[in-house]
């Protein structure tokens, strides 16, 4: 029981840190080009880039529903990213636990 509580507290604390970073710190991220963009600029082929299929998507350029440069749009995109990542991770853990418990039950049933 103690282990379950400490794991839950660890997950909640980690989630709170991720939410705080995504919403409070990400709006002030450096706006300079990343490494790949910088190489493209230095080598002279940055102008040949074309938009990908999701360039007009809901979280394009790490912004949600706002014009570029508004901090709350970046914070919202970060929050959505944390939520999606957490849900996918929690789903994978649940699937692994379910598979492990069904495997353990089958192994126990085979023991004479």
| Residues 32-52 pLDDT 10s | 878 888 999 999 998 898 887
> Is 33 a domain residue?
no
CA distance 88 to 104: 24
Q: Is residue 49 part of a domain?
A: no
Question: Quick one: tokens of 77?
Answer: 């995109």
Range of the domain at 71: 2-28+59-110
Q: How far is the C-alpha of 45 from the C-alpha of 43, rounded, in Å?
A: 6
Per-residue model confidence (pLDDT) at position 86: 96
| pLDDT tier at 110, thresholds 50, 70, 90 | low
In a domain, 41, yes or no: no
**Residue 29 DSSP one-character state:** S
What is the sign of the dihedral through the CA atoms of 49, 53, 54 and 56? positive
Secondary structure (3-state) at 31? coil
Q: Residue 31, exposed/middle/buried by CB under 10 A (0-12, 13-18, 19+)?
A: exposed
Domain count, the chain: 1
Cβ-contact 63, 70 below 8 angstroms? yes
């Amino acid at each position: 029981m103690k282990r379950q509580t400490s794991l839950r507290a660890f997950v909640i604390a980690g989630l709170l840190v991720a939410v705080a970073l995504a919403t409070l710190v990400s709006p002030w991220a450096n706006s300079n080009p990343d490494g790949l963009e910088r190489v493209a600029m230095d080598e002279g082929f940055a102008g040949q880039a074309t938009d990908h299929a999701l360039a007009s998507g809901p979280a394009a350029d790490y912004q949600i529903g706002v014009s570029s440069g508004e901090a709350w749009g970046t914070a919202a995109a970060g929050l959505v990213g944390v939520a999606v990542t957490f849900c996918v991770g929690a789903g994978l853990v649940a699937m692994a636990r379910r598979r492990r418990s069904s495997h353990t039950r089958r192994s126990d049933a085979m023991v004479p």
